[in-house]
Amino acid sequence: MNLQRPLAGARASVSIHLIEPHKLVVEALRHVYAQDPLLCVVADAPAVDRTEIAKLRPDVIVIDLDGLPQPIEEAIDACESASPQSRICVLSAQARPRIMQRALSAKAAAYVVKDTSPQMMIEIVHSIARGDYYADPRLAGAMLRRRSGRSNEPNELSGREFEIVRLIADGLSNREIGTRLSLSEKTVKNHVSHILAKLKVNARSGVAVYAVRNGIVS
């Protein structure tokens, strides 16, 4: 995914609630987010606390999947019921496509592997706070490459469109996709517009997430 950072001053401050059982990781995350003056960690807790979340109503809830005392689906559901407008970012050391699929299918806005750079962690929080989505391109691309053949329904992606979806999931720009597939950048842009229309998403950042949630991947 290509996460473009908007101009400073165009962004509003973002409140973050950390659900993290390990104090060392809490301090590390606080340090990362403190690098951006528009990010504010308002609280942390070792597990989901509906009462606290309902009181704080944070913009973003970061849930560390590792050591979570309940299934990720239950944790996300609890957060959503307590604060429906909060966006959920799942963090984990598990670089496993199926784990990511579970989190995104449970309506997480992002799945981030812990080897992600601190700067990208900051960008992802800003991105999902704006309403975008993020799926680790290494995992999303792998899932899309394993997709089996599908029927030719009216809204089904064509073979070429599927190739482009896979490359979007791998994090390539329109120009890079054109180079890879020997297509003009304008042709790729047209394909991307058709893909967004077929998948009913507004931005390319949501393509891989939509594919995971809706069974386009196998």
| Residue-range domains of the chain with CATH | 14-135 (3.40.50.2300), 139-213 (1.10.10.10)
Confidence class for position 51, pLDDT limits 50, 70, 90: very high
HSE-CB of 36 using CA atoms within 13 angstroms: 25
pLDDT in tens, 156-197: 677 788 788 878 877 788 999 999 999 999 999 998 988 888
Angle between helices 185-199 and 159-169 (to 10 degrees): 90
> What pLDDT is attached to residue 155?
53
Confidence class for position 215, pLDDT limits 50, 70, 90: low
> What pLDDT is attached to residue 204?
77
CB atoms within 10 A of CB 86: 22
3-state secondary structure of 60: strand
The yes-or-no verdict on residue 73 having pLDDT over 70 is yes
Taking every pair of Cα atoms in the chain, the longest distance, rounded to a whole number of angstroms, is 54
The yes-or-no verdict on residue 138 having pLDDT over 80 is no
Q: Please, which contacts does 153-159 make with residues 24 or more away whose CB atoms are closer than 8 Å?
A: 155/198, 156/198, 157/195, 157/198, 157/216
The partner residues of 134 in beta bridges, in order of sequence, read 110
Q: Identify which has the larger pLDDT, 51 or 153.
A: 51
Please state, rounded to an integer, the average pLDDT across all residues of the chain: 83
pTM, 2 dp: 0.68
